[in-house]
Structure 1
Amino acid sequence: MARNSNVGGWRGGEPATLASVARHSGVSPQTVSNALNSPDLLAPETLRRVRRSIEELDYRPHRAARSLRTKSSRLIGFEVQLSAYGVFGPVAEHFLHAVSESAINAGYGILLFTESTSGNGELDRYAELSRERFVDAFILTNTCRGDHRPKLLRKRGTPFVTFGRWSARDQDDWVDVDGAHGTAAAVDHLVTLGHRRIAFLGWPRGSGVGDDREQGWRDAMRRHQLPVRGMRVSSEDDVDAAREAAGGLFPGAVTAVVAASDTLAFGCYQAVQDSGLVPGRDVAVIGFDNSPAAELVSPNLSSLHQPLREAGHACVQLLTARIEERQRDPEHILLTPELIVRESAANTAES
């Protein structure tokens, strides 16, 4: 009966402790500690008995005490940034939810932070969190060419994984979405509908993510022996700016547009309408990100869906493996986006 009185981790209103787990399982406190931190030191039967007591008592090791003992915070740093090209925006929640879910399953928490408002801003915050051991590692998002964060963390010996490969080196772990594959699939789909004059509405060159998506469009157009000269326009990731940039394409010979983001695609919708044409009927449009608004506009926007949940899980998987084994070979995971066809790119092109 004494054993059952502790079920749920309580005896007289007190939470279970390492000492109470030791008494419950008939071992020393050090044996319980070994079961939690060095299970390979225990005989299989002893380990099973201790783990059974931990489960029955619902024992939870004190995070602060464990951090002092192991010099590990069991936290992963994640910077919350404003929307940037091709990574975060209305679809960010799927990635962050997957990261949080996977981290919890691996025994870690997520520390959200923003850049410092003084000194070197962003880099100062990363240096502080790493130096003071507030976090064990980082997941880097919104990566781009010239990003200084990876260099800082490499110098400090702090584990990290990047979502995006544009700032990574061969020795870094990274997860990315194959944007070129996505835009090429968009062109292939439009060609099957009979389109031959397919423009690309992208971001200013140099973003990495945007350049990758443009390259997929170019490769597919050349594979189908279709013209690309004069068929590319660029804009900041803003609806009004995209509307102005795409305005020069219509009216004209262009019958379809592949956009580097849904935001650009919405601007393209307005440019098409400004010229007296109808999106989806006169001009096919395909976006990228499959944002929630894609199903709300009229016509519904065809778009490339990024597997952000899979990306979030993969980032945590690579990062926790790196924390446990610093010298392991780097891993690179490139995920394939899926073309979601809706009304904006469902009709056969008119000859």
Structure 2
Amino acid sequence: MKKPTLASLAAELKVSRQTVSNVLNFPDRVRPETRRRVQEAIDRAGYMPSAAARALRNQKAMVLGLRLSDPRNGISGSFMDGFTHALVTLADKQGYRVVLFPATTKAEEVDKLVELRRTLAIDACVLTDTWIDDDRPAQLLELGVPFAAFGRPWDATDHGRWVDVDGRAGAREAALYLRSLGHERIGFMGWSDGSPVGRDRMAGWKEALGLSDAEALDLVLESDDTVADGAANMSLLLGRGVTAAVCASDSLALGAHTVNRRRGRHGVSLVGFDNTPVAQAVGLASMRQPVADVARIVLDKVLQQLDDEDSAQDGVLLAPSLVTREPEG
């Protein structure tokens, strides 16, 4: 038996295809008697409009916009790759596609998102890499573009449309774990780019160890997020009597690990972040971020807005988990 179509229903009822379409989409435009007769035929045939037709009728593209994340090194970049993969997979299960596009600045990103939304190429978008003085959420709210962000509004009004990982709690747990192993002088390796994420993790390390600003000063080194800088930092910290370190990334932790191996230092003395394949390969302890949960909640927030643009939104902060390992060598 052939699947019923708009054309076959129209031919059977001897009405126009537009009449059948109007009954489905704009029933008030059709006379009651004709509407009843067409609706009965639709129900009898079990006709279902296609997803493409529904999208056109509702002026929905069934597409979400996402800026390609800024390039990172091959270690730290795997985390955002994981988020993108999870988001695309989960969106697909909901009938949505994710379109990726490049933008060199946040202003360019907003311009492209607004244009994509204006032309109905996307229904909503996902923001990542939130920063201090980040005005993207405020602009999108003002322009009526639905969005959710992976990353909290660090110094702006809380719009509630965000999900983030509690790096402060993660670094606190990492520092306490190293102290439980007997380490007393525990350093911190962070980033020198002013990243609010890095500063948040440093605050957690400092809280766990009960350090004053003056006490923390000698135990903190900030640099670029590279393996080479991680190695250089570890050498300096060892010279200051540090025996262990919490690292803002697995890249820095891997560099520190190479120094420990060269000097014959064994046992657990490092905790990184992101639980990347590299950390797993060399046996580094690391904080695992719940990337799949982040993607799921971000998507839920976007879909809630598409169902109800006035839906209440509250930010969600998820806890990372410590993955412990014995380092190789």
TM-score norm. by structure 2 comes to 0.81
Query: Partners in 1 of 2:76 and 2:20 — Cα distance?
Result: 50
Residues 97-127 of structure 1: CA deviation (Å, up to 9, x unaligned): 321233233332211111169x964343233
Identity %: 33
* Shift, 1:84, TM fit: 5.1
Task: Identify if the C-alpha distance between structure 1 residues 273 and 129 changes in structure 2 by more than 3 Å, giving closer, same or farther.
Answer: same
1:186 to 174, 183, 186: 174
Residues 271-312 of structure 1: CA deviation (Å, up to 9, x unaligned): 3345x242x43x611100000111212xx1110000000100
Which has the larger displacement, 103-112 or 308-317? 103-112
On the 8 A contact 2:151/2:163 being kept in 1, the answer is yes
Which has the larger displacement, 189-198 or 306-315? 189-198
Query: Partners in 1 of 2:313 and 2:11 — Cα distance?
Result: 44
* Shift, 1:334, TM fit: 0.8
Query: Partners in 2 of 1:54 and 1:113 — Cα distance?
Result: 37
Counterpart mapping for 1:107-256 below 5 A: 107-115=95-103, 121-167=108-154, 169-204=157-192, 206-222=194-210, 228-256=216-244
**Structure 1: runs of 5+ lacking an equivalent:** 10-15, 36-45, 346-351
Q: 3-state DSSP class of the match of 1:134?
A: coil
Q: 3-state DSSP class of the match of 2:316?
A: strand
Task: Identify if the C-alpha distance between structure 1 residues 339 and 129 changes in structure 2 by more than 3 Å, giving closer, same or farther.
Answer: same
On the 8 A contact 1:202/1:260 being kept in 2, the answer is yes
Query: Partners in 2 of 1:172 and 1:22 — Cα distance?
Result: 48
Residues 240-289 of structure 1: CA deviation (Å, up to 9, x unaligned): 12222332112452111110010111121233345x242x43x6111000
Q: What is the match of residue 16 of structure 2?
A: none
Q: What is the match of residue 341 of structure 1?
A: 324
Q: Does 1:69 align with 2:54?
A: no
Q: What is the match of residue 297 of structure 2?
A: 314
* Shift, 1:51, TM fit: 11
Task: Identify if the C-alpha distance between structure 1 residues 222 and 53 changes in structure 2 by more than 3 Å, giving closer, same or farther.
Answer: same
Query: Partners in 2 of 1:157 and 1:344 — Cα distance?
Result: 50
Query: Partners in 2 of 1:121 and 1:183 — Cα distance?
Result: 34
Q: Does 1:53 align with 2:46?
A: yes
Letter in 2 for 1:142: D
Counterpart mapping for 1:13-92 below 5 A: 17-20=5-8, 29-30=21-22, 32-33=24-25, 50=43, 53=46, 60-62=50-52, 65-83=53-71, 89-92=77-80
* Shift, 1:88, TM fit: 6.3
Query: Partners in 2 of 1:264 and 1:66 — Cα distance?
Result: 50
Query: Partners in 2 of 1:51 and 1:257 — Cα distance?
Result: 70
Task: Identify if the C-alpha distance between structure 1 residues 120 and 325 changes in structure 2 by more than 3 Å, giving closer, same or farther.
Answer: closer
Query: Partners in 2 of 1:203 and 1:76 — Cα distance?
Result: 31
* Shift, 1:61, TM fit: 2.9
* Shift, 1:50, TM fit: 4.7
Task: Identify if the C-alpha distance between structure 1 residues 31 and 237 changes in structure 2 by more than 3 Å, giving closer, same or farther.
Answer: same
CA RMSD in angstroms comes to 3.4
* Shift, 1:67, TM fit: 4.3
Q: What is the match of residue 287 of structure 2?
A: 304
Matched residue pairs, number?
A: 308
* Shift, 1:145, TM fit: 1.1
Q: Which has the higher helix share?
A: 2
On the 8 A contact 2:5/2:47 being kept in 1, the answer is no
Task: Identify if the C-alpha distance between structure 1 residues 295 and 17 changes in structure 2 by more than 3 Å, giving closer, same or farther.
Answer: same
On the 8 A contact 2:162/2:316 being kept in 1, the answer is yes
Query: Partners in 1 of 2:24 and 2:168 — Cα distance?
Result: 52
On the 8 A contact 1:129/1:135 being kept in 2, the answer is yes
On the 8 A contact 2:76/2:250 being kept in 1, the answer is no
Residues 20-49 of structure 1: CA deviation (Å, up to 9, x unaligned): 57899xx955555589xxxxxxxxxx89x8
Q: 3-state DSSP class of the match of 1:290?
A: coil
Query: Partners in 2 of 1:231 and 1:240 — Cα distance?
Result: 19
Q: 3-state DSSP class of the match of 1:194?
A: coil
Q: What is the match of residue 43 of structure 1?
A: none
Query: Partners in 2 of 1:83 and 1:313 — Cα distance?
Result: 23
Query: Partners in 2 of 1:72 and 1:206 — Cα distance?
Result: 39
Letter in 1 for 2:306: I
On the 8 A contact 1:285/1:344 being kept in 2, the answer is no
Query: Partners in 2 of 1:51 and 1:310 — Cα distance?
Result: 42
